[in-house]
Structure 1
């Protein structure tokens, strides 16, 4: 299994090697934003206001659905007047009760972890909002509890439905006054994703295509991906997950300043060394820095110093900068590029980006 960058500009290869249509699914992100907002409005998520502001918001979800909780917390920011946490497990913590809101998110509606958390939430008298396909077990829990259900129907693998799952959660948070996000914000997010889709389209050659260029940077390296803010951290986690699942590729993610207390030490380790005289070069470390315009001043200093440390040791560096006024826009700028890069990385290795055979096998073994 070898990396061949020329594959990324071979239109026949890009079509033949992507039978599941992952590139098309990524290109549909802008449409997901508009569809997700419309579904949330039509489902009446503004009725949450009548239940009063919750003591805490808990987002239950696995994989891409779980990332919606991280995005919600990042977009709401440190000024939000209540805790927001994400649960990726089977059990609600003991402190969650009737004054809290549980948002259960699932692209399929049948993940046992998320369904289990929703059932527990109902039993404890929590408020419940379900974002999932109609006719699913999770929807059944919501209907039985007379809870609000936002019907979404992902077209393609769950990991390609991030925006369809995330936007209803942001709309709900806006209704509760946790974040300011009117229709114009969602339209700007959609426009940003459309711009990325245009610049990263398959017919755009590698030297002008930021998605292909990033894939070429990441190939044959071990990416250590850091975010410089909660928004950038969520994007870093998304990139790592997409590299894992879509690219079948290892990656490490972190957030400054915490990464400066542990992961930075890898810059002095064996993967940071490159032997230019070796017959065959092994994978080496690459520092991928995701920047946000809203950084703590000390984090900015740590980011700049970390990049100097990497360059002083000849560790390759990639820097990506979030663009946009609203945190959701800035997140879209980073995530949109990450989704394309992971897909192109898989295609450069001649891997079909859609199937996840090992995940399917793991679930089958667990269910036996």
Structure 2
């Protein structure tokens, strides 16, 4: 039982079970009561989701998930300050799982000064205190996870907010589908010699370069990269097509497989524009021509929303297994804790 042995040795906080039970996060988040009575729906003309790390990536993934469904201007903010256009017609969603993210607290104070309409997604902390002081709407997330492992809580709570505000159609059926998907995949990916565990063999000792496509898989690429950094403790980089075809593609001219320990992970999706498919084909040809290696990841499910979370979940497991195979704790983030300590001293 190789997987069981690795989990016992290198996963003291048991993130293995957290991943297996991700479907339960979705259920709890989707069943959470969202009170929108304080929000003036008719005034909302644009939306800003403000957060960092795992709390922000939910906002990015929502953009890929909804694609053309969301009709209002929508932006994810990762900063101490909000964009200057924010006003009383802006819905600002403050997303901080811990409730104590320094930058997000500052952005929340900005939102209050700019008289924006505010909804908070959090488990408590300073965000909850500020919300209570200012009589703001709070969606309480389930406690007990590290923020990046709580993505499924953060994302589906955010999706529920959008539905309750009637900014999108009813998502209940697709959410049920995703719950069953994650439940089944959790059993699959926790078994010996599963696909995620096998894929890790191709990533040992190399630096992954992840390519997604704007508006389809760019948020997935960013999530995968971040999980490789935090869970696996490796450098990883990502870029998106078609933009990288106008710059980064040239860098492959000088690639030398003897001196460069890189592998490309191409995120594929059946709904890509035909010209993007051609671009990926040419890019792959050029990379292989100089000795580069490409790992293609694609879901074959029928719905693009399920396909997105099929790959989010697969890549989460890949980063977990890469951590324990490298004898690293998939929970530990010492450098982040050190940085926060220095900033508050």
TM-score range, shorter chain: over 0.9
Change (3 A) 1:163 1:217: same
Spell out, residue by residue over 1:93-121, the C-alpha distance to the aligned partner (whole angstroms, 9 max, x if none): 22110000000111100112111211221
1:74-101 Cα deviation digits (max 9, x unpaired): 2221453221111111011221100000
- Distance in structure 1 (CA, Å) of the matches to 2:110 and 2:18: 34
Query: Does the alignment pair 1:273 with 2:256?
Result: yes
* Separation in 2, partners of 1:322, 1:141: 42
1:38 to partner: Cα distance: 1.1
Counterpart check, 1:353 vs 2:343: no
Say if 1:48 and 1:76 are closer, same or farther in 2 by CA, change over 3 A.
farther
CA contact (8 A) 1:22 1:353 kept: yes
Q: Does 1:170 align with 2:170?
A: no
- CA separation of 1:284/1:295 partners in 2, compared to 1, >3 Å: closer, same or farther? same
The farther-off stretch of 244-253 and 282-291 is: 282-291
Let me know the Cα RMSD of the aligned residues: 1.9
Distance 2:42 2:300 in 1: 34
For residues 285 and 317 of structure 2, the distance between their equivalents in structure 1, rounded to whole angstroms, comes to 28
SS at match of 2:217: helix
What are the equivalent positions in structure 2 for 1:292-311 lying under 5 Å apart?
Answer: 292-311=269-288
What is the alpha-carbon distance in structure 2 between the residues aligned to residue 107 and residue 152 of structure 1? 7
Choose the corresponding residue for 2:6, options 6, 13, 24: 13
1:44 corresponds to: 35
The answer to whether the 8 A contact 1:97-1:124 is kept is yes
Secondary structure, counterpart of 2:196 in structure 1: helix
Alignment-derived partner of residue 240 in structure 2: 255
Unpaired runs of 5+ residues, structure 2, are none
Render the CA deviation track for 1:28-60: whole Å, top value 9, x for unaligned: 211111111111xx1324x47753251111001
Unpaired runs of at least 5, structure 1: 1-7, 276-281
Which whole-Å CA distance do the structure 1 matches of 2:165 and 2:242 have between them? 31
Q: C-alpha separation between the residues in 2 aligned to 1:78 and 1:132?
A: 27
Q: What is the TM-score when the length of structure 1 is the normalising length? A: 0.88
Q: Specify the alignment match of 1:235 in structure 2.
A: 220
In structure 2, the partner of 1:29 is 22
The match for 1:194 is 183
For residue 267 of structure 2, give the secondary structure of its aligned residue in structure 1. strand
Instruction: Report what 1:142 is aligned to.
Output: 131
Pair 1:338-2:319 in alignment: no
Distance 1:263 1:177, change over 3 A: farther
Tell whether 2:208 aligns with 1:215: no
Cα deviation, residue 343, structure 1: 0.8
1:92-111 residue pairs with structure 2 within 5 A? 92-111=82-101
Distance 1:114 1:224, change over 3 A: same
Among 146, 169, 186, which residue is 1:180 paired with? 169
Larger mean Cα displacement after TM superposition, 30-39 or 78-87: 78-87
CA contact 1:131–1:152 (8 Å) conserved in 2: yes
Do the aligned partners of residues 323 and 121 (structure 1) sit closer, same or farther apart at CA in structure 2, a change above 3 Å counting?
farther
Count of equivalent residues: 345
